[in-house]
Amino acid sequence: MLDIKFIRENPEIVKENIKKKFQEKKLVLVDEVISLDIKIRDLKQKGDNLRKERNDLSGKIGMLMREKKVEEANAIKAQVVEVNKELAGIEPAVEELQKELREKMLVIPNIIDPSVPIGEDDSCNVENQKYGEPFVPEYEIPYHADIVAALNGVDKEAAGRTSGNGFYYLMGDIARLHSAMLSYARDFMIDKGFTYCVPPFMIRSDVVSGVMSFEEMDAMMYKIEGEDLFLIGTSEHSMIGKFKGQIIPEKELPLTLTSYSPCFRKEVGAHGLEERGLYRVHQFEKQEMVVICKKEESMDWYNKMWSYTVEFFRSLDVPVRTLECCSGDLADLKVKSCDIEAWSPRQKKYFEVGSCSTLGDAQARRLGIKSKDENGTYLCHTLNNTVLATPRGLIAVLENNYNADGSIRVPKALQPYMGGKELLTPKK
């Protein structure tokens, strides 16, 4: 959410930013917000004037009563009653207008960074850099669901009976490899100096609206019936919410946190071959990184954070690339974002395994997350990035470590978490 003062003073910048995000239908909101802001400030000024008038009248009443001029004092008391009636109407009117103003401001997108490429959708995203050499072996690599099935590693049929489409049981060595990757991701980030956290997996609606746009919420979140609780779609939600309404001492910044959670999402995606496997699912597990920092440090942390995910996947023998998200592909709260994509030797293309974003002070403004220096309080900046989301990360490791005989090389970094196993072999 933008600062109303910024919108008031820079309406054309806000409108141009909306155009860059190809959301022209929202242009009208800028003028509506400015109009509401004027009404609110006028009403507040009127209220201040009335309170001053009431104080002046009250002073006169006291003076007249001391002078025994009761009749005149009573006449002024009647004026005070009328002033109070008028004030009683102003306060709820201001409250209602402020509510309307906030609802409109929540929909106006954040100002994107000047470096963001302009484009309407993800087809306009721009490759930044490749890390590791994409490799396609001479032998065929099966679809990941078939690789996993050969190791007796998945049971989607049983999950369909218990939970429906989009769920799965992971079994045996595959389940162990899945957990090994998450444990390694946890320790990888701890070694980077991040504090490990396991957050709540449900959050209240005021936290949801503080960390994401309404469009994202409707598309993603599962609502708990009869309660003001939602299942999280990523642990970033509850990790940022942890600091709702807090003033963080500046000496504690930056806060660098890495969190584990299961994640729950309504969308399954397009129908087709991928739906048979583990690429698009309702439930998955994730190791996340979250940073809360000062404004002047946020871009440095953004570059560090995506580089950590690149380093993580390269340590698992997975070639990756970074992809700069264009303006139309950015969620409304984001200032800048890049995707980390892993190489698929089966498909001979890259696919998304993580996303790194800086949101400026948008989440902090919505949730009231501040810090304080000698000049007073200020809004913090928030950033988030995927270390590992699996099964997607698992798919990348399986394909890039697949042997001609159907066995899977266990990357050296994961072997300590696999009881020293170096190879996973198919079950006959």
All domains in the chain, ordered by first residue? 4-105 (1.10.287.40), 122-424 (3.30.930.10)
Please tell me the predicted confidence (pLDDT) of residue 275: 57
Cis peptide before 254 (omega within 30 of 0): yes
| Of the listed ranges 30-44, 124-138, 151-165, the one predicted with least confidence | 151-165
CB-based contacts of 147, cutoff 8 Å, min separation 6: 141, 398, 399, 402, 406, 408
Question: 66-108 pLDDT, tens per residue?
Answer: 777 877 777 878 887 887 888 888 888 999 999 999 999 999 9
pLDDT band, very low/low/confident/very high, at 189 (cuts 50, 70, 90): very high
| Of the listed ranges 51-55, 170-174, 201-205, the one predicted with least confidence | 51-55
| More confident of the two residues 252 and 219 | 252
Query: Count of CB atoms within 10 A of residue 77's CB?
Result: 15
Question: 368-381 pLDDT, tens per residue?
Answer: 999 998 889 999 99
Question: Residue 346 is encoded by which pair of tokens?
Answer: 């089966």
Strand partners for 424? 408
Global pTM value: 0.89
Stretch 389-406: mean pLDDT: 95
Instruction: Beginning with the edge strand found earlier in the chain, give each strand of the sheet holding 222-223 in spatial order.
Output: 202-203, 230-231, 222-223
Question: 350-374 pLDDT, tens per residue?
Answer: 999 999 999 999 999 999 999 998 8
Residue 26 burial (C-beta neighbours within 10 Å; 0-12, 13-18, 19+): middle
**3-state class percentages of the chain: helix first, strand second, coil last, to nearest 5:** 45, 20, 30
User: Is the pLDDT confidence value at 130 over 60?
Assistant: yes
Question: 149-182 pLDDT, tens per residue?
Answer: 999 999 988 988 998 888 899 999 999 999 999 9
**DSSP collapsed to 3 states, 136-167:** CCCCCCCCHHHHHHHCCCEEHHHHHHHCCCCC
Q: How far apart are CA 183 and CA 178, in angstroms?
A: 9
Phi, psi angle pair for 408, to nearest 5°: -120, 125
Mean pLDDT taken over the chain: 92
Query: Count of CB atoms within 10 A of residue 226's CB?
Result: 6
CB-based contacts of 141, cutoff 8 Å, min separation 6: 147, 345, 346, 399, 402
Q: Above pLDDT 90, what percent of the chain? A: 77
Question: Cβ(323)–Cβ(126) under 8 Å?
Answer: yes
Please tell me the predicted confidence (pLDDT) of residue 312: 98
Please tell me the predicted confidence (pLDDT) of residue 428: 62
